[in-house]
Copies of this chain bind each other. A is one copy, B any other.
């Protein structure tokens, strides 16, 4: 089977994407025919069939506009809605979501590409206030994405609360013979060592988003 797409097939794909941008339903066979200057509906059907076999789309038999665009070039659709639970700042407790606080209704949210949350459930976002996270390569105004967790395995970036001064900090988490090592993401900075009962994990960091 040939790997290349004919120019007509490429044109049809592009037209279908543009069409779905404008309306939010797929075009009919005759829409494609008119939009791509094709003289017969059977030609559209013919090429649609090919595009389907190559995995560019799926068709539903006997369903009007029954075309489902597949593959990488499908805009929209794959976004994950993540709630912004509040702020994170030095010296303040982390607003961890209880299962009760989980109405996404009327809470501020962001739509993010799924590669940032990678299937993790209950990911939430916090807005960073201040520069106290700078050793985690996180600046003022950044959005950190967290996954609720109370334990962590070696090397994961976590939001850790130090009982001593009740501060929350973002560090890489290691356990080394009974002690916890909190390693800043910036290799130029020194790690912190604390007793395991003097630190508690509040969540795992799954991503950071910065808008300048």
Interface residues, chain A, with chain B CB atoms under 8 Å away: 10, 20, 23-26, 28, 60, 64-69, 72-73, 75-79, 81, 104-105, 108-113, 115-116, 118, 131, 134, 137-139, 156-157, 185-188, 205-212
CA distance A138 to B118 in the complex (A): 21
**Contact partner of A65 among B65, B73, B104, CB < 8 A?**
B65
Given A79-B75, A206-B212, A113-B116 contact (CB < 8 Å) = no
CA distance A211 to B209 in the complex (A): 9
Task: Find out whether the CB atom of A131 lies under 8 angstroms from the CB atom of B207.
Answer: no
CA distance A109 to B66 in the complex (A): 26
Q: How many copies altogether?
A: 2
Interface of A is mostly: loop
**Contact partner of A28 among B64, B139, B205, CB < 8 A?**
B64
Write out the residue numbers on chain B whose beta carbons fall within 8 Å of the beta carbon of A24: 20, 26, 68-69, 77
Write out the residue numbers on chain B whose beta carbons fall within 8 Å of the beta carbon of A211: 115-116, 118, 206-207
Closest 4 CB pairs of A and B: A76-B76, A64-B64, A208-B210, A25-B25
Q: Specify the chain B residue showing the minimal Cβ separation from A208.
A: B210
Q: Specify the chain B residue showing the minimal Cβ separation from A144.
A: B210
**Contact partner of A115 among B110, B115, B187, B188, CB < 8 A?**
B110
Task: Find out whether the CB atom of A157 lies under 8 angstroms from the CB atom of B208.
Answer: no
Task: Find out whether the CB atom of A111 lies under 8 angstroms from the CB atom of B109.
Answer: no
**Contact partner of A72 among B60, B66, B109, B156, CB < 8 A?**
B109
